Amino acid sequence: MGCLSSAPPQVSNQARRKQQELLSPPNSIGDDQTEKKSRNTLHNLLHESVQTIIKGISKIPKPPNLHPLVCLNEYTSPIAIAILSLSSGNTTEIYLPVVAISLYNNQKLMLIGQIELLALCVNTNTEASAFLENTIRWTGGVGRNNYKILLLQIEPTLAQQIEKNLKCFDFIVNIHDEMPDNLRYHIIITTMQCKYADELREYKGGLIIADVSESTQEESMREFLLERGLSFPNFSLSIGNVTSEFVRTNKGFKELNECTFLKLIKSYKSMVQDESDMGVQKYDNLVTALRYHIIVLPRCENEHLLDLSKAAFQLLENTNYISEEGICPAIIHGITVVLLTEILHRLPAKTFEGQHWGERFPGEVIDPQLGDFRTHHEFHCEEWSSSGLYIPSGVIGHATLSKPCKNVHIQIGCHVECTLSQTGPWKRWPIIFETYDFEDGLDLDFCSPFGGIVYVVMDEYSTDDPSIEFDVTFRNVIQYPIYTSLDPSIYDEVKGENNSPWMEIETQFIIITIPSDKIELFGELSEYCTFIDQLIAEVLQFTSDVSQKLYRLVFDIELPNDKATCNYPISMPMKMIEAISQKKPSVDLFLLIYYIGTLSVMQMNFGDVDGHSLGMIAASHAFKSVFKDINPLEYNAETPPDLFSDLYNIYTQNNPEDFTKSFEDIRRMYEIMQIGEKRVWEIFVQKISGYAGTNLAPKLIKSKEESTNFGGGVLISYSSKSLSEFQLPDAMKKDPVIDQSLVPVEE
């Protein structure tokens, strides 16, 4: 399974600057004594606020789908915290807030993990009703005779119930779906779906903001909360005791603040200084709690994160993380690297200047001759675009777009598979690529402690235009060799100019990324390109694939379970490079062609079983067409689904064009409208039966049902940027340290 680090949330430059200010110690207060006094004043205000809100209250309602939140800076404090619960019903030892407050920019804000909590504060529930009253009086300013409250963009039924609860105290309540021109309200109550974040920034009254069940949050509201030191992590666990209908509020201020980001960092630094007190499960719980806070942060300067990363690196060095067999042999090392990966993806480029961690892999560039280059890029879909440029480790590069473009970022490195899911020691760092988003600007700096090939990546092709073209100007980079079958002279011009450790072979249908010192294995490159294109062309013709997206193949010294992964890019163990480079049939070459066939078929939304079965058929067809008198099944080392056998019999006993025509019909239909996975298979069975002139439905439907549990030894890795699937390998577990559901999911 893919297990890369979760992506930093994309935020505007304005929000990034404000978040940077909030997460760094104030630098405009004056001398140390004045700064300390200011911090003590803020601390006391938060303490008084918490006491005001929960005074005399032992519990508050716990609605279904109550979401945890995080307090990120000294302007915030939890009001109520709850324990995380596993899907099994068992609890963990990790607590997170479900209600919190912020005192920032002279504005009082309360954040609640579910809007239904306020609806449950009925007058027959004495403590819940008291909590609601205390919340209003604190948020709107203690001491008023009455409060005027706006319920903004809240689901009507909930809004009416909340209005009823509030009117028990004779508060004045108005309900609106749109922001009124006259904001003469003491308090606005709204949700994360609110579309008026800019107006809320200008609003001088108190705010109560709540999350909503099973709904997408407005990005502008996430930015608004980040500016105030609060956020909701994307979450996969239950919060609180699964059988309880309330959350207790009997924690003291000091205990509540142990669940804030800054206190967790302090606890971490203290723990790693005393290794004798650092049990694996205790350490893992602390790291997991920290990760819930880190995953919401954007990439920006953050002194606290930098201090945390230094403490984590110091722990690695103190515990001999480098061994003769590799790096990070111990379970503590693996947990620490998970934490470091989350942190590093959220630090700015300049943090990595002068850092060189790539000697083991992917390799270092000796005496690089840095230069500036302009590259042209044309996109037809979501894909990587090779720049022909390489950034050495520790060097800060700069990229400038020729025009604004959405969903574009710079990626450093081609090795995107993560090895955190397996036991150390590792042959390389588990994650060695970095991404930097342009967001709403034209310029960015980029840097990596590992170095790597520089790619321009389009994450999402959200336009009806047939293509998107733009230039990128790069500074402080070197060229790496690319052999392209369309213009071999480019390779001759660049070859030997720089000692880049990696290069690419680009054919009509695939880009192959290899170590530069392995190029001799491929012999005459023009002949090899013709050979590999012939095989892939047979696959694409068979699957009726006319897309312009090139497939990619990357070789790696370490992959999960030492298996190739069927993804974009396809990743294969370095030991397979020799067989792939030869112009003759082999098990490894069949695997590559099979993966290309599977990816091509999956474009039509086939399921795993049918997609892989049809991918094997496509590879078998290509091998038979190119190598003639061979049995392609002799080169298939994978265990196929039962469905494959029936499909292969149909292929051998009928015209292979029956498959191609069926695929062509489905692709034509898919261009008009999206087709569900189940329906795609039904249409294929119908089409292939029609072209074969016999009813194949009973056999194929039964065969697929019997193949439902296909594992096949195939590792499909949907790697993006998420550590969400990381858990400690069973071989390393002495105790059940991490439950699969006890991890953040990708933002």
- The domain boundary residue, chosen from 317, 347, 377: 347
Q: What is the mean pLDDT of residues 393-405?
A: 96
User: CB–CB of 140/107 below 8 Å?
Assistant: no
260-264, 385-389, 700-704 — which is least confidently predicted? 700-704
652 has pLDDT over 90: yes
Q: What is the pLDDT of residue 747?
A: 38
Same domain assignment for residues 472 and 533: no
Q: What is the pLDDT of residue 615?
A: 97
Q: What is the pLDDT of residue 523?
A: 96
Same domain assignment for residues 162 and 188: yes
| Main-chain phi, psi angles of 631, to 5 degrees | -100, 105
Same domain assignment for residues 121 and 230: yes
What total of structural domains would you count in the chain? 4
User: CB–CB of 294/344 below 8 Å?
Assistant: no
How confident is the prediction for the chain on average, in pLDDT?
A: 88
pTM, 2 dp: 0.86
Same domain assignment for residues 528 and 642: yes
Distance, first Cα to last Cα, the chain: 18
Q: Which of 25, 695, 15, 728 lies closest to 330, judged by CA?
A: 728
Residue linked to tokens 């230094």: 310
CA dist 723 and 336 (Å) reads 13
Q: What is the pLDDT of residue 439?
A: 76
542 has pLDDT over 60: yes
Q: How far is CA 185 from CA 174, 175, 179, 181, 519, in A?
A: 9, 12, 12, 11, 71
The DSSP 8-state label assigned to residue 715 in this structure reads: B
| Main-chain phi, psi angles of 341, to 5 degrees | -65, -45
Residue linked to tokens 């004798």: 276
Same domain assignment for residues 494 and 548: no
- The domain boundary residue, chosen from 506, 530, 557: 506
* Residue 179 token pair: 């922001």
CB atoms within 10 A of CB 543: 28
228 has pLDDT over 50: yes
- Is residue 206 situated within a structural domain? yes
- Is residue 726 situated within a structural domain? no
Half-sphere exposure (Cβ direction) of 574: Cα atoms closer than 13 Å: 13
Q: How far is CA 114 from CA 64, 215, 358, 417, 727, in A?
A: 8, 11, 45, 36, 29
Same domain assignment for residues 639 and 670: yes
* Domain CATH for 420: 2.60.120.1250
Same domain assignment for residues 438 and 558: no
DSSP string, 130-199: HHHHHHHHHHH-TT-S--EEEEES--HHHHHHHHHHHHTTT-EEEEESS--S----SEEEEETT-S-HHH
- Is residue 416 situated within a structural domain? yes
- Is residue 5 situated within a structural domain? no
Same domain assignment for residues 86 and 232: yes
Q: What is the mean pLDDT of residues 577-586?
A: 98
- Is residue 270 situated within a structural domain? yes
Q: Which of 576, 581, 607, 564 lies closest to 713, judged by CA?
A: 564
User: CB–CB of 671/544 below 8 Å?
Assistant: no
User: CB–CB of 82/89 below 8 Å?
Assistant: no
- Is residue 400 situated within a structural domain? yes
305 has pLDDT over 80: yes
Q: How far is CA 320 from CA 316, 328, 329, 330, 338, in A?
A: 6, 8, 9, 9, 17
3-class DSSP state for residue 652?
A: helix
Same domain assignment for residues 625 and 557: yes
3-class DSSP state for residue 452?
A: strand
192 has pLDDT over 60: yes
Confidence of residue 708 (pLDDT cuts 50, 70, 90): low
Q: What is the pLDDT of residue 676?
A: 87
**The domain containing residue 438 runs over which residues?**
348-506
Half-sphere exposure (Cβ direction) of 442: Cα atoms closer than 13 Å: 9
* Domain CATH for 656: 1.10.390
Q: What is the mean pLDDT of residues 70-82?
A: 97
Q: What is the mean pLDDT of residues 644-670?
A: 95
Q: Which of 725, 730, 321, 361 lies closest to 573, judged by CA?
A: 361
* Residue 220 token pair: 């502008």
- The domain boundary residue, chosen from 221, 253, 285: 253
Same domain assignment for residues 199 and 72: yes
Same domain assignment for residues 628 and 648: yes
Same domain assignment for residues 521 and 481: no
- Is residue 733 situated within a structural domain? no
CA dist 44 and 48 (Å) reads 6
- Is residue 31 situated within a structural domain? no
470: which strand partners?
A: 377
274 has pLDDT over 90: no
586-590, 604-608, 733-737 — which is least confidently predicted? 733-737
Q: Which of 660, 659, 682, 550 lies closest to 605, judged by CA?
A: 682
User: Cis before residue 515, ω within 30 degrees of 0?
Assistant: no
546 has pLDDT over 90: yes
3-class DSSP state for residue 441?
A: coil
CA dist 318 and 323 (Å) reads 13
Distant-in-sequence, close-in-space partners of 314: CB < 8 Å, separation ≥ 6: 272
* Residue 379 token pair: 């996109």
User: CB–CB of 687/661 below 8 Å?
Assistant: yes
